[in-house]
């Protein structure tokens, strides 16, 4: 049997209740289509207004959102893409299918977001895009990144999976660059019944292309046909077939389409969750404030600070240990696990994964990211589903281990429970 923890790592990053059940009941009773209907339209419009983007198109997952966003880049063999190594593998996974050079930038040691100086050092005349994440819910330094990208015509894709509910000088992630990708997985700040995603865009032509791809249409270029396929008007105007079937010819297929339609049930729940977003993020921030108040008492600990004008959505709570305290990060985490706190460390540096090592990447490429992951980084649960009792237990365990560390005592206590470290 799996171990039981006094402070579990919640499997849900949101909270579901009677409002979501009522929304699902309405969908079931409505007799309306369960795909591509009015709930999806309402969810997308509400999301677009919240983020402040020109377009918002829902899809079946954050991973699919990222894959379709990469399709829009129209990358060619030999092109280069700069990407952060400190994120979930889905951010860059679509690039494995393309004959492009991925250049992993290093990260800022105080935030784990992409370091603009490292990004700029990797730019060449072949750079076509920058893929970054707002790590843990803290928006990246977008002013600096966009100053690098804009004059060079480089497309910037924001992975906003952690950042729904964050603010960046009055604006929201997803509207800070060219394309934004969101996830509504069970672990995220809101959910659409376990899976779901959203792409936000400012470009009308890209939005049209993405809508075709998610709707099982080819991402293709069409021109008026020199002659009609049949005489007369379309004899079946009520049938579901492309409106240009009789009138246009295809001159280029960029990408095949896919059925990435978010279900009406998921969209209905997502719309309710969107209305609860502020309260859910407020709960995360309240838990984070209590954790920070404990950590700040110890000189060998560094917490992640919010720059002026920036609000952290706290999808993850991250802090860093100073190795000078004499206790390794691994020993510290094992001790916390032994006291009953379930831990997950996010994320193993992407450039060290086997599939990227096979593409020529390896140790030493991103020294700050490697040092922070292997020596200093600690993540704690801060999901809104944690009860006050859970948070009290977490803080008590944290103080116990921090006090032991401050006194220079080696980790002690029960045999540590093995950590689950998702790669």
Q: Which residues contact 271 (CB under 8 A, 6 or more apart)?
A: 23, 39, 42, 43, 46
Three-class SS string for 316-359?
A: CEEEEECHHHCCCHHHHHHHHHHCCECCCCCCCCHHHCHHHHCC
Length of the chain: 423
- Residue corresponding to tokens 């390896």: 362
Taking the C-alpha atoms of residue 27 and residue 164, their distance in angstroms, rounded to an integer, is 25
Taking residue 62's Cβ as centre, other Cβ atoms within 10 Å add up to: 25
At 180, is the secondary structure helix, strand, or coil?
strand
Catalytic residue among 188, 214, 284, 311: 188
Q: Which residues contact 124 (CB under 8 A, 6 or more apart)?
A: 80
Structure tokens at 5: 């923890």
Taking the C-alpha atoms of residue 159 and residue 135, their distance in angstroms, rounded to an integer, is 9
**∠ Cα 158 164 167 (to 5°):** 85
Report DSSP state, residue 114. B
Catalytic site includes residue 188: yes
Indicate which residues carry an active-site annotation: 188
């Amino acid at each position: 049997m799996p171990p039981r923890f006094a402070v579990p790592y919640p499997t849900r990053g949101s909270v579901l209740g009677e409002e979501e059940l009522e929304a699902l009941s309405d969908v079931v009773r409505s007799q309306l289509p369960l795909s591509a209907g009015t709930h999806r339209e309402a969810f997308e419009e509400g999301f677009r207004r919240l983020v402040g983007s020109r377009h918002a198109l829902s899809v079946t997952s954050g991973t699919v959102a990222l894959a379709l966003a990469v399709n829009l880049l129209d990358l060619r063999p030999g092109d280069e893409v700069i990407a952060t190594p400190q994120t979930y593998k889905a951010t860059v996974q679509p690039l494995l299918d393309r004959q492009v050079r991925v250049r992993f930038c290093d990260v800022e040691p105080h935030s784990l977001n992409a370091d603009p100086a490292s990004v700029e050092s990797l730019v060449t005349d072949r750079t076509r895009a920058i893929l970054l994440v707002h790590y843990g819910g803290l928006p990246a330094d977008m002013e600096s990144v966009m100053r690098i990208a804009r004059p060079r015509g480089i497309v910037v894709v924001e992975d906003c999976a952690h950042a729904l509910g964050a603010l960046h000088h009055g604006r929201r992630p997803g509207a800070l660059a060219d394309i934004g990708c969101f996830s509504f997985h069970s672990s995220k700040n809101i959910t659409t019944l376990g899976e779901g995603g959203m792409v936000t865009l400012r470009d009308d032509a890209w939005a049209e292309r993405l809508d075709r791809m998610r709707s099982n249409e080819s991402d293709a270029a069409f021109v008026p046909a020199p002659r009609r396929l049949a005489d007369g008007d379309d004899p079946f105007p009520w049938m579901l077939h492309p409106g240009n079937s009789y009138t246009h010819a295809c001159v280029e297929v960029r990408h095949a389409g896919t059925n990435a339609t978010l279900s009406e049930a998921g969209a209905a729940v997502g719309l309710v969750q969107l209305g609860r977003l502020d309260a859910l993020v407020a709960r995360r921030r309240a838990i984070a404030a209590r954790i920070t108040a404990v950590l700040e008492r110890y000189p060998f600990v560094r917490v992640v600070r919010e720059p002026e004008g920036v609000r952290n959505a706290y999808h993850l709570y991250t802090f860093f240990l100073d190795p000078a305290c004499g206790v390794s990060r691994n020993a510290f985490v094992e001790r916390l696990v032994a006291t009953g706190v379930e831990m997950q460390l996010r994320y193993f540096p992407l450039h060290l994964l086997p599939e990227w090592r096979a593409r020529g990447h390896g140790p030493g490429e991103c020294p700050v990211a490697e040092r922070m992951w292997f020596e200093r980084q600690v993540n704690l649960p801060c999901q809104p589903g944690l009860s006050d009792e859970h948070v009290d237990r977490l803080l008590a365990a944290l103080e116990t281990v921090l006090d032991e560390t401050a006194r220079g005592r080696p980790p002690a206590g029960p045999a540590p429970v093995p950590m689950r470290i998702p790669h």
